Structure 1
């Protein structure tokens, strides 16, 4: 897997920096829609930037991994006394956070912040936060102090799924059984043309060697149609069955989902909400849009480095 693939899972809350002229030094909150290993880029949907004046169509954009960072944890942004002149800060302005420097303390919780050589603006204390840099998985402040990202472990209920981790505002569901062995219910992907983005259910019949398994599919038949198809699968194309996640209410536009059709689960994005709990789902690989019932969809999850990542488990500070 290429660098950055497991850093920001789909559904994760992030901030995106811009290299465009006039926007350098700014960060905008967004949600990760997907990651493309071939290009090593992410697609994000911005929280406060919209394509239309009514604010119903969020801006989506393909960005480099270097442009992303997690949301700064609340305890890092929390004010601990007044800011000082010369201190590096971030100010909330034009729907983003802009990196600047306190030029003058105005009193009564107000600060004049400078951006570059010319631009200076006055902000109330609630619109200013301390500046931290995201460096190699840690938050580093302007004084070089290092603060690891928050990590909270807690027991999972007795459903056999193991534990949850709180990492950068996203709960990561961890399987208690990271070893695929005989009898393990699995899903298998394929690199064949027309099958990209699909996962097919099966069971491990035999562990052939390290990293290779004999799998019998649950819905795909052999050519003679007398028995279920069996195939040798390598570790890159196999994962345990995803844990079931209850959906509270309806899916939302831009939610990443798996849709069941043609004997498999296909990764897509909710493009439109219809009546009677139905949806139009867009599939990037084929550029098709198909209609599905709610019962034929599930929340999309990614199996990365032995852990399940899901947008449904995002924690809100």
Structure 2
């Protein structure tokens, strides 16, 4: 998945890496940039470990278009049909809220056809990285801290040959 804007990350920056591997496509894994190689980053993962040494964090190269800033954790009152990310199998996986039962939210994963219950703390609103923040599927815009952003614009409305300037607040 290519992102619309590319930020240059520095050594020590916290990032998420989007996997393109079969069976993992669309999942995001948290890590820290340990080297900037120009067209790639060397990333040390927060929750993934080496196969032959489970006490050592996995380090690997990631293409520039696979790396993004850490997605802000946004926990609105979810509703059925809302696109979310659920933290499972050491990463964030995209799914869809289907229902709530008690304190758990049920998430359906189209990629695996699984339907799993999660507490709210393991789910975040699915957001895409954009130049000025993060955007939800329904167009809500959030800052890097996860706060909703609003825009103020001046609109020009023409009615019957005369025009008026109006302030509009878009949320």
TM-score by length of 2: 0.74
Match of 1:92 in 2: 87
Q: Distance in 1 between matches of 2:120 and 2:141?
A: 24
Q: Distance in 2 between matches of 1:66 and 1:114?
A: 27
Deviations 1:110-141 (A, max 9, x none): 12111116222111222111111112352111
Secondary structure of the corresponding residue to residue 21 of structure 1? coil
1:206-245 superposed matches below 5 A: none
Match of 1:34 in 2: 35
Match of 2:23 in 1: 22
Q: Does 1:147 align with 2:148?
A: no
Match of 1:63 in 2: 62
Match of 2:46 in 1: 47
Q: Distance in 2 between matches of 1:146 and 1:130?
A: 12
Secondary structure of the corresponding residue to residue 121 of structure 2? helix
Q: 2:106 aligns with which of 101, 106, 112?
A: 112
Q: 2:75 aligns with which of 59, 74, 79?
A: 79
- CA shift, 1:83, in A, is 1.1
Structure with larger Rg: 1
Deviations 1:33-75 (A, max 9, x none): 11112xx1111011111114663221111111111111123xx
Structure 1 residues 139 and 78, CA, compared in 2 at 3 Å: closer, same or farther?
closer
1:192-203 superposed matches below 5 A: none
Structure 1 residues 145 and 113, CA, compared in 2 at 3 Å: closer, same or farther?
same
- CA shift, 1:78, in A, is 3.8
Q: Distance in 2 between matches of 1:149 and 1:7?
A: 16
Q: Distance in 2 between matches of 1:17 and 1:72?
A: 12
- CA shift, 1:25, in A, is 1.9
Q: Distance in 2 between matches of 1:45 and 1:61?
A: 7
The runs of 5 or more residues in structure 1 that have no matched partner are 151-317
TM-score by length of 1: 0.41
Secondary structure of the corresponding residue to residue 66 of structure 1? helix
Q: Distance in 2 between matches of 1:126 and 1:138?
A: 22
Instruction: Indicate the RMSD between aligned Cα atoms, in angstroms.
Output: 2.0
The runs of 5 or more residues in structure 2 that have no matched partner are 146-171
